[in-house]
């Protein structure tokens, strides 16, 4: 099983911070939070493989270091210089976030461990502090790092969250370093999340699958 050190090394490589290794901060330096940052980094890799260059940003200033949240928070929070990334594909602008809250179609607030959203609403919610709507989200990922097998209720809970995000959500994925015998079948029906089970920096093939699924959907949406 991947260790915290394995995840931290992977984050360094995927983040590719201009200042070099170690230029990021996990507000909670524990494996579950590092796993979210790792999946964030895989999104950066997918964007780069499409020929775009994601830019690392901070809510207050240059991201030195790049700060990953320790708990769910609002996109406009400047309690710390929280980091995010922006990129453009075929003249369409997006942002990648970790641990940000959104308002679902029901009016309930949900946290997304990692997401890609349309940049225009992100800009608006930072100018006039507000939680962005679910309709602004392109892709959403749940990230679970455990030292034991997954509980199936985690899959049901994420399916419910995805349902509350409505039809604008183009891609959803359930990411974990572990697995469950019934989860792949449960995620098979259309519109349910893609099961990125056993996703780990120790398994390059699993990383390639994640990047391939995201890259393909971004290409379809942007016609890049």
* CATH assignment of the domain containing 126: 3.40.91
Under 8 Å between Cβ of 113 and 99: yes
Q: Quote the number of domains for the chain.
A: 1
Closest CA to 84 of 97, 68, 67: 97
Helix 31-49 vs helix 4-15: crossing angle, to nearest 10: 30
Closest CA to 45 of 201, 174, 168, 171: 201
- Measured CA to CA, the distance from residue 27 to residue 29 in angstroms comes to 6
Quick one: pLDDT band at residue 210, thresholds 50, 70, 90?
Answer: very high
Question: Mean of the pLDDT values across residues 87-101?
Answer: 97
Quick one: pLDDT band at residue 109, thresholds 50, 70, 90?
Answer: very high
The structure's pTM equals 0.97
The answer on pLDDT for 224 being more than 60 is no
The answer on pLDDT for 120 being more than 90 is yes
Residues paired with residue 84 on neighbouring β-strands, in sequence order: 57
The answer on pLDDT for 84 being more than 60 is yes
Q: For the chain, give the mean pLDDT.
A: 96
Residues with Cβ within 8 Å of residue 19, at least 6 apart in sequence: 64, 65
Domain of 67?
A: 4-222
| pLDDT (0 to 100) of residue 184 | 86
- Chain Cα centroid distance, residue 38: 9
- 143-195 pLDDT, tens per residue? 999 998 899 899 999 999 999 999 999 999 999 999 988 998 899 888 899 99
The answer on pLDDT for 223 being more than 90 is no
| pLDDT (0 to 100) of residue 181 | 86
- 25-56 pLDDT, tens per residue? 999 999 999 999 999 999 999 999 999 999 99
Residues paired with residue 93 on neighbouring β-strands, in sequence order: 88
């Amino acid at each position: 099983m991947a260790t915290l050190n394995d995840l931290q090394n992977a984050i360094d490589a995927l983040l590719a911070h201009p200042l070099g290794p170690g230029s990021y901060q996990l507000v909670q330096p524990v494996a579950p939070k590092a796993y979210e940052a790792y999946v964030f980094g895989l999104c950066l890799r997918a964007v780069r493989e499409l020929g775009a260059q994601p830019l690392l940003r901070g809510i207050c200033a240059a991201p030195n270091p790049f700060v990953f949240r320790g708990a769910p928070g609002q996109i406009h929070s400047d309690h710390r210089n929280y980091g995010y990334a922006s990129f453009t594909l075929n003249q369409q602008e997006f942002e990648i976030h970790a641990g940000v809250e959104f308002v679902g179609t029901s009016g309930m607030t949900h946290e997304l461990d990692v997401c890609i959203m349309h940049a225009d609403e992100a800009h608006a919610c930072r100018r006039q502090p507000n939680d962005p709507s679910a309709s602004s989200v392109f892709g959403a990922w749940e990230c679970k790092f455990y030292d034991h097998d997954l509980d199936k209720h985690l899959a049901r809970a994420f399916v419910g969250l995805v349902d509350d995000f409505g039809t604008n959500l183009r891609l959803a994925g359930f990411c974990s370093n572990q697995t469950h015998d019934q989860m792949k079948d449960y995620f098979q029906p259309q519109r349910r999340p893609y099961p990125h089970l056993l996703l780990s920096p120790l398994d390059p093939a699993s990383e390639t699958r994640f990047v391939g699924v995201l890259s393909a959907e971004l290409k379809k949406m942007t016609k890049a």
